[in-house]
Structure formats: C-alpha cells, structure tokens
Amino acid sequence: MSEKDLKDCGVARETLVTLYSRMLLIRRLEEKIAELYPRQEMRCPTHLSIGQEAVAAGVCSALEKDDTVFLNHRCHAAYIAKGGDIRKVMAELYGKKTGCTKGRGGSMHLVDPDVGVIGASAILAGTIPIACGAAMSYKRKKIKRVAVCFFGDAAIEEGTFFESVNLALVWQLPVLFVCENNGLSTCTPLAKRQVPVPIHERVKAFGMPVAAVDGNDALAVYEAARDAVARARKGKGPSFIEASTYRWLEHVGPNFDWSLGYRSKEEVEDAMRRCPVKTFEERLAAAGILTGGQKTMLRDEISERVEDAARFGKESAFPDPHELLEATDG
Ligand SMILES: Cc1ncc(C[n+]2csc(CCOP(=O)(O)OP(=O)(O)O)c2C)c(N)n1
C-alpha cells in the first residue's frame, strides 16, 4: 500500500507528531507490561495491542476530548490514545485501588469518563449497541459529540453488530464503528470464520459510508476517522472504518505464539518488518518533521513516564476488602 509523503499531506505537523508519540507511548507501556507480566503480580488476563497501535492513535487523534469511546477486551491502546492516565492503567493491572476502576476491572475494563473512555467489555460486540445508545442521547440532546466503538473482526459475527449498524443508519446516529481487523479470532483465521467478501463491503451493503484503510498507517487511519467524525458532527449519521492490521503476540498474554501452529514465524516477522511505529518514525524523519534530537527527547520522556507508571502501579495499595460493595466513581 502506498504511503503519503508526510511533508505534503496537508495534516498539521503537530498532529503528525501526536500520532507518533501516542503510538510510541502505547508500544512502550505494553512492552513494559509484557516484561512485568511473567512475575505473576498482575493477575488479570491481558490482551496486548503490540503491532496494532496505529488504529487507536489514528482514530483518537481525530476526536475531541468530549467525544466518547467504547472498547473491547483489547482496550489499552484506545484508552491511552484517548488521553487515559497510564499510571491508572498500571495500577489497574496490578489490582490496586489507584487503578482506573479501583482494581476491580483489570486489563479488559479500562474506563475513564473524564477523558471520554466510557466503557470496555470482554463480551464480544457488547459495547457496540451501548455506543449507539450514547450517540442517540447526543442526537436527542443536540450535543455535537461523536461516539466511537472499537471492536475486532470477530465482533461482526455477533448479531448485535448488524442490529446496531441497521438502527444507527435508520436513526442517523453520530457513531463511528471501527473494526480493527487483525485477521484472527483467538487462533482462528478470518477465512475459516467468514465469507470471502471484505468486511467493509458487507457493511456497505446496508447503505453505510465505509472506508477500508491500512491499519498500519496512522495517517491513513487518522484521515478516515477525521472525515467520518466531521460527517457525524454535521448530523450526517454513522460511518464504518475497517482498519487492517496485525497482532504480533499471542491472543492473551505477553509471548510470541507461532509454536501453536496457527500462523508461521515468517508471517509474524513479516508484520514486524512493517511495524507501524517504526515506519511512521521513518516517514517523519524523511519529511524533516522529527529530528534525531527530538526523537531522543520524546523517547526518553516516554520511557520515564512508563517507568513511573509501573512503579506507581506496583507500589500502590490493594483495595480494602470492606470497600468491595461501594460504587466506583466511574
Ligand atoms: C460473546 C462472546 N463470545 C466469545 C467470546 C470469547 N472470545 C474472547 S476474545 C475472542 C476473539 C476476539 O477476536 P476479535 O473480536 O477479532 O478481537 P481480537 O482479539 O482479534 O482483537 C473470543 C471469541 C467472548 N469474549 N464473548
């Protein structure tokens, strides 16, 4: 897929640097989680997005703070890209009371209403109708806000996905459906689960405006999301983005998994050569937008933040069992 020259792409430099720094923050935090996870101190199942960072960074960089996102089990990336506090992520994974759901939700339930991360659920497609409900309330209250739901290619196998798409169109709701198509549902490839018609073509058949983008290209994702969000804000209804991407690590956990046999080492290594963070960094450098010095500063700052978040999570206190029945603030 051809990538645009960043110098002449018409997107502000600041936005391009934001796309990069958000991807880098997601990558570094998840690498830290992968490093710490085997110590058995984080006790929640953890689904990492390493390799898929461009989708969350691209979409969330096209949103305002008041716009809302609704996530699935693989929710770290969008939580971070929407502006969620990484200290609260680490604390949540450690089950501590300083976590974003006071240590009660774990990795699959990152929530922070202050930055518009309204909900995350491990029930496949579970947050799709909820995002539509939120969009319906914005429309009724005439609030210029957009609801975005992120889900994987397996979520479209749930009936509620097509019910939601249908009503979002009928009611012209300000909602953006983002399908992170990594070609896998746990260990089962797409070709064994769905008809050989591209997902966006099937959704288009409903009358939905769709975009199919290279989910490894943060700029392509950003541009598709920016256009969809602008349409929704103008009252022109929902849109759907299919972002094709690739998960490097096992479905759940911090390891590579080619030994399981459902994909080859070569396939994973090929995807790693097309790393969304590295390729964007090279494009920024080629366009003269990010100098070597700036890159080093950014990397150092992000590494420090990640170390601080990991320390904070580990050193925070566990919740008091007596607080169990008290409501969380979220
Ligand atoms: C309703 C429901 N059915 C089955 C599962 C078990 N399950 C958990 S993750 C997963 C695969 C998810 O694949 P996808 O939605 O494409 O997202 P990805 O994990 O690839 O990011 C399945 C089948 C579930 N959580 N919820």
Q: What is the pLDDT of residues 67-100, one digit of tens each?
A: 999 999 999 999 999 999 999 999 999 999 999 9
On the question of pLDDT at 300 being above 90, the answer is yes
6-249+257-314: CATH, from 3.40.50.10320, 3.30.70.990, 3.30.70.980, 3.40.50.970: 3.40.50.970
171 in helix, strand or coil?
coil
Distance 155 CA to ligand 1 centre (A): 7
- Best mutation site among 149, 185, 190 for ligand 1, i.e. most ligand atoms within 8 A of its Cβ? 185
On the question of pLDDT at 1 being above 60, the answer is no
Run of H or E residues at 218: helix 218-233
Distant-in-sequence, close-in-space partners of 90: CB < 8 Å, separation ≥ 6: 29, 32, 33, 309, 310, 312, 313, 314
pTM score over 0.85: yes
Distance 292 CA to ligand 1 centre (A): 40
Mean pLDDT computed over 152-156: 98
Instruction: Return d(Cα 219, Cα 8) in angstroms, integer.
Output: 12
In tens, the pLDDT along 179-230 reads 999 999 999 999 999 999 999 999 999 999 999 999 999 999 999 999 999 9
Give the domain ranges of the chain.
6-249+257-314
Chain center to CA of 133: 20
**Residues 94-105 as b or e (16 or more Cβ within 10 Å = b):** bbbebbbbbbbb
Q: What is the pLDDT of residue 309?
A: 98
In tens, the pLDDT along 33-65 reads 999 999 999 999 999 999 999 999 999 999 999
Q: What is the pLDDT of residue 329?
A: 60
Query: Could you identify the atom of ligand 1 that is nearest to the CA of residue 49?
Result: 21
- Best mutation site among 53, 71, 74, 124 for ligand 1, i.e. most ligand atoms within 8 A of its Cβ? 124
pLDDT-derived band at 323 (thresholds 50, 70, 90) equals confident
Distance 154 CA to ligand 1 centre (A): 6
